[in-house]
Amino acid sequence: MFAKLKTIASLAILIGVVLLLVKVEETFNMYNAPYIMIITGLILLVISLLAANQEKSLICRLGLNRFEQTGRDREVEALFIYKCERCGEEKKVMKTF
């Protein structure tokens, strides 16, 4: 359910931004429809992220983790290991030089 909500919210934000870029309010009487779509999409996205993710910190639930490099992978040299300072989530990132 939350995956669909994330998709709908992302599409609402995207459509709102596209409508702003095209300047559709000059052609049609849409008034504040692009702004309403963007704000509604952001609210739905925040709600779905808070409800779906189970991390301890609210900031990490929104996807705003603070990662710190902890080391390198032993098998692949270009693979770096990062760990979040707040929730302890680990991820591996491949860097190319």
Q: What pLDDT was estimated at residue 60?
A: 76
Q: Ramachandran region of residue 94, left (φ > 0), alpha (ψ -120 to 50) or beta?
A: beta
3-class SS string, 10-29 = HHHHHHHHHHHHHCHHHHCC
Q: What is the DSSP letter of 56?
A: S
- Kindly report the pTM of this predicted structure: 0.62
**pLDDT above 70 covers what percent of the chain?**
96
Give domain limits for the chain: 2-52, 64-97
Nearest to 2 by CA among 54, 60, 39, 38: 54
pLDDT of residue 78: 83
* Mean pLDDT on 7-13: 91
At residue 97, the pLDDT reads 66
* pLDDT tens, residue by residue, 36-77: 999 999 999 888 887 776 667 777 777 778 888 888 888 887
